[in-house]
Structure 1
C-alpha cells in the first residue's frame, strides 16, 4: 500500500460547553486539564441569547486540542468509554467524526465530587493523509488532489482496523 494513502489522526479536540462563566467554567477547565494533561482555552459566545442569559463575548466553554501521541492515546481511551461504537451520522463529508461522553467520571482517575458536579464533553477527531501540507504551506501552495482527501468510507475503515470500532 502506498504510504501516502494511509489515514492518520491529525488532531483531537476536546470541548466542554458549560453555558456560563464563573465557578462552573473554572471546574470544567480543571476537569478537562486533568483528563487531557493540557491547559484549556476558553471559548466565548458568538451571539447574545437572552433566553439562556448568554451575552456576546462572554466565556461559556473550554476546549483543548491534542496532536500526535497525546491525541492517539486520548482517542483510544475515549473510544473504550463509548464501548467501541460510533454512530454513522457522526461523520462529516471530510471523514472527520465527533462523539459525546456523558460523564467525565468515566475517565480513569476521575471521581464524582458533589461540589463540582458532572460534566459531559465532546470529542472531535480530524483525520488526514500524508501530504496535506502542500495545501497549508505558504510557499508554493497547491490544491490537494481529490484522491488525497479522506472520505467517510476511509474513516470508517481506519477506525475498524486501528481501534476495532463498530460503526452503527
Structure 2
C-alpha cells in the first residue's frame, strides 16, 4: 500500500509565439508521445516579448498508466539516466528537461521543423491519494502516508535504474 507509483507525466514545449512554430511543436509532441497536444495560453500581456494575454504560446500533453511508464523509460534514456536531487520537490514529484527532441530514439533532425526542447514533469503518488481530491467524504492524508522525496528517489532508482547525482 505504501509503494509509490507514477500518477501522470506532463510533456510541455513553450514556443513563446503562436503560428507556424507552435504547429511544428504540436507535431513533435504528438510523434514523440503519441498523445494529442493541448495549447497553453499566456496568462498576462508581456509587451517586451510581444505576447498578448490569452494568446497560445505553447503546448502540452498528459500521459497516464502504462504509456506513461514506457515513455518515462525513453525520456530517462534520452537524459542519460541521470537526475539530481534538486529536481525533486517536497512531495516527491520531479521534473527534468530534454534540450533537443532529436535525443529520442528514431527522431532525426528535419530542417523544416527545427529543434525543440521540452520539459518532462512526473507526478509520483501512493495508492490512497484520492482521499484528498474526491468530492464526497474528502479527508486529509496522514503524515505517514504522504510521499517524501527520499521515498520517490529510492523508487525511481530501483524501478527505472536511474543514477541520482
TM-score normalised by the shorter chain: which range applies?
Answer: over 0.9
* Corresponding position of 2:42: 45
Matched, 1:129 2:126: yes
Runs (5+) with no aligned partner, structure 2: none
SS state of the match for residue 148, structure 1? coil
* Corresponding position of 2:68: 71
SS state of the match for residue 147, structure 1? coil
* Corresponding position of 1:60: 57
- Give distance in 2, aligned partners of 1:50 and 1:65: 30
The C-alpha deviation readout for 1:6-40, integer Å capped at 9, x for no partner, is 00000000000100000000000001001111110
* Corresponding position of 2:86: 89
- Give distance in 2, aligned partners of 1:52 and 1:92: 30
Task: Please show how residues 1-168 of structure 1 align to structure 2 within 5 Å.
Answer: 4-168=1-165
- Give distance in 2, aligned partners of 1:23 and 1:147: 49
The C-alpha deviation readout for 1:41-88, integer Å capped at 9, x for no partner, is 000000111111111110000000000001001001100111110121
Q: Larger deviation: 107-116 or 6-15? A: 107-116
- Give distance in 1, aligned partners of 2:50 and 2:88: 32
1:141, CA displacement in angstroms? 1.2
TM normalised by structure 1 equals 0.96
Runs (5+) with no aligned partner, structure 1: none
Q: Which runs of 4+ in 1 moved over 6 A?
A: none
1:108, CA displacement in angstroms? 2.1
